[in-house]
Chains A and B, each alone.
Chain A
Amino acid sequence: MNDRPSGDNENKQRFEAEALIHLNTLHRTALRMTKNEGDADDLVQDTYMKAYRFWDKFEEGSNCRAWLFKIMTNLFINDYRAKSRSPQIVDLEDVDDDFLFGHLSALGPADNPEKHFFNKVFDDDVKLAIDELPDDFKIVVVLSFLEGFSYQEIADITDLQIGTVKSRLHRGRKLLQKSLWKYAIKNGFIKEPA
């Protein structure tokens, strides 16, 4: 296929320059969404294949990264999650808004428990805490915390109302803080008050 028409080549070059440069951020989000490398690989590949198929629908000059995340999030929700649906244990016990701050402050200011906490908690614990979030919360947390999308962008990507994005992000934050507090106690970084 060395005699590809030049239009085809041009298209490919434009796709590589505008879409493929976002591969790394899609990849890391796919890893958090699917929780394993094989599925993350497949999800990102399928995302790019779909994006390429609909490349003529992409409005030049609009936000390509957000467009790719929208494709990937939809694929994840409709295909991957349905396929590998393990029962999601939703933590129904509500916690206070200031869960982690309150617990750390209660340990007293003497040895700066906040600093201690942030210095000690492992990268893997943070990843695990995100991985364990129910998907609905995880998606918005990852899009906001890791990818820095705004509420409006997340609403566009997920097809949710902006109010739903905010409340899921709020709940996701609390669940994340609760898990990290549990890990910190389990690993002995923090001594649970008697």
Chain B
Amino acid sequence: MLKKDLGLLILILVVGTVVALLNPRFVSQINVANTANLIGLFGLFAIGQGFVIITGGIDLSVGSIFALLGVIFIDMIGLWGVPWPVAFLLTILGGVMLGGLHAFLVTRMKMQPFVVTLCGLLIYRGLARWYTGDGTAGFEFGQSFPALEWLTMGRSPIPYWLPESWGGPGFFPMPNSFIAFIIVALIMGVVLHRSVYGRYLFAVGKNEEAARYSGINTRKVIAAAYLISGLLAGISTVYFAMYTRSISPASHGNFYELYAIAAAVLGGCSLRGGEGSVLGIVLGAVLLQVLQNLVNLLGIESSLNFAVMGGVILIGVIADQQLVKYRTRKANERKRALGHGALSPVAQQEK
């Protein structure tokens, strides 16, 4: 675990404790389960975003992908009678294809990721609104898909143990979305931190030229990050569609890419590329939802929601930078004492 991740965990625990003291409902089973559900929903695609950010790119299109693929998904199972597993797979495939399109434009046409995915953001949402006639896609009254609903919005009982005075042992209704998120996070954590591809991803994000000199196919590595982001956006599409059960493309998923970017940045991803960890992104996603929850529970005007989020990210990043500076200074002092050359604070900050 990196120092950065540890700091984030401590921050979450401190914020959590304060909120719990101010409003005990924060730790009620129902609130924890609801927050976990939201963490799962918003965390899933944040991991893909993190991969893209590690390449030095960005994916602004995910929120619009939720709208476009979402309305098609709802129509597939609600209107056209496509079996839901097939529709689920087709939606994931759609996400992968859109990711592939971004990858092509970024790596082959040499376009800037910001521009490519910004156009995606505009185009996909526009198409979704046009497709629904600027209306809403939803299920017929009484339509239900029990297996799919269990998979996405269902709960699995997880046994836990507490002393009798705290209510005793029992079962916690863990949202399946959160379980899916943890499974994906574990897989992607292994991919990023243990696999050859993960090492290549960092190598390319840190210094693309040196990676090329080491024989890495940098284009493939970058393209794969967009494919992964598209894949996870495809999975998330289904989760969000089943969460809202009806989609008005004009607002569905609006700004969600920013939640993902915020989670990744909070989690230690540098927008310059080459840095980040899956654990950090997971913790970033947790903190964001805790903050949202805090706004509700502490009776803060809900219109201040974004302001609180922005403020905390800003303070977090400033604190982190100051800490790095401080550590560099200490390290340099130690080095000087030993008679070694000092590191420049700039070079250190890049880390």
Mutual binders A and B: no
